Amino acid sequence: MTDHRAQVNQLLADYARSREQLATVHQRLAAITATERSADGGITVTVGSRGTLTGLTLADDVYRAHRPSELATEILRLVTSASRRALAEAADVLAPTLPAGTDSKAMLRGTADLTPDELPPEPRPTPRDSPEDADDEDFAATNWVAEGRRGTS
């Protein structure tokens, strides 16, 4: 009878250690952030451990330096880069808790049990700098007030 009690006590102690380790991993994962800045310093993005955008700062003059499509593409590029860094850091935190040989990045992505043929292609930001992009007309020199008055006479 005593032998079983010792085994149960050992199992309970192991469980308590595992729970404590899990709580520590969750705290460390929650604290992960990654920040990226554009080369000109006008755009700053911050993401959390899951790559979720948690901060976006645009300099006051960023709209003069970048066309709308360029701005969107640069923000996506920065978020993608920051997300990759955050994922790598999260994988490093998680790796010691996983069985040997387990790909911690794949675990975090939810693709650990997929074969290469089953994996979707990685999304990439697409540049929208083509002339067909009608949303990017430059209206900086347009005087909307003066044009509006001409049409109301």
Q: What is the pLDDT of residues 41-90, one digit of tens each?
A: 999 999 998 889 999 999 999 988 889 999 999 999 999 999 999 999 99
Q: What distance in Å separates the CA atoms of residue 44 and residue 79, rounded to the nearest whole number? A: 9
What predicted TM-score, i.e. pTM, was given to this entire model?
0.68
Instruction: Using the predicted structure, report yes or no on whether residue 38 has a pLDDT greater than 70.
Output: yes
Instruction: Give a yes or no: residue 105 inside a domain.
Output: yes
DSSP strands (E only) in the chain = 33-37, 43-48, 53-58
- Residue 13: inside a domain: no
Q: How many domains does the chain have?
A: 1
- Report the alpha-carbon distance of residue 107 to residue 99 in Å, rounded: 11
Res 134: pLDDT: 47
Tell me the sheet residues that pair with 79. none
What per-residue confidence (pLDDT) applies to 130? 45
Residue 104: inside a domain: yes
Q: Which residues contact 150 (CB under 8 A, 6 or more apart)?
A: none
User: Across the beta sheet with 43-48, what order do the strands follow?
Assistant: 33-37, 43-48, 53-58
pLDDT over 70 for what percent of the chain? Answer: 78
Domain that holds residue 40: 32-112+121-150
What are the structure tokens assigned to 26, written together?
Answer: 């969750």
Question: Is residue 68 one of the residues assigned to a domain?
Answer: yes
